[in-house]
Amino acid sequence: MVRMGIKLIAFDLDGVLIDGCGSWREVHNGLGTAEQAEKHANEYREGKINFDEWARKDASLWQGVEIGRIREILYKVELMPGIEKTIPRLKERYKMGIISGGLQIMADRIKDKFKMDYAVGNSLLVKDGRVYGVDQLVDFHGKGKVLEAVARDNGVALDECAVVGDFINDIPMFEIAGFRIAFNPKSDEIVEMADEVIYEKDLTRILPFFEVI
């Protein structure tokens, strides 16, 4: 199905534009902090801490690490197959960007590489070149509010927005957008809300839905 009238496309980052285990997890793996991070993840899953507390605890594991080291780790993560063709083609017709609970460094990498219009993620706080915390802008349930703000800033109605996501934290965007694509979805809930579902690591598969082939 082609959804007519779309003017802006919002992409999730991890699992959609990049092919990896997620920007937070990639940094933990690269710095050897994955085991400690899993304890924080369990605390969040068990309801002992909220998402903001989880993010602060996770970022605290990187306190004192040079930001260049984190950038180096993230820039090695593979991009999603098909992105090199897909984003430039869509950019010819639509405003495009990223809304992610992942790290702003990775979101900016993709935004700058493909000259996308916006990228909203979570920024690591840095002093004297080293990490000391996190500025948590996009929490687990906050993507819908971010999409509303992005649409408003670009003079676009919500039913003129399309979203491409893969996980339950994308549901707040799916609830308000005019067109929803689940890309290699990781939950049944996101599938149920999607207008189209793609089960393949090939971003070019979304092009026909926007009349771009």
Of 152, 157, 150, the closest CA to residue 120 belongs to 150
8-20+79-210: CATH architecture: 3-Layer(aba) Sandwich (3.40)
User: Which residues in the chain belong to E strands, given as ranges?
Assistant: 8-11, 95-103, 118-127, 130-135, 161-165, 179-183, 196-198
- Fold classification of 24-74 is DNA polymerase; domain 1 (1.10.150)
Residue appearing with tokens 């869509």: 90
Every domain of the chain with CATH number 3.40.50.1000 lies at 8-20+79-210
Q: Supply the pTM of this predicted model.
A: 0.93
- What was the pLDDT predicted at 3? 67
Residues annotated as catalytic are 12, 14
Average confidence (pLDDT) per 10 residues, the chain, 213 residues: 84 95 92 93 89 89 96 95 97 96 95 97 96 90 95 96 96 97 96 96 96 65
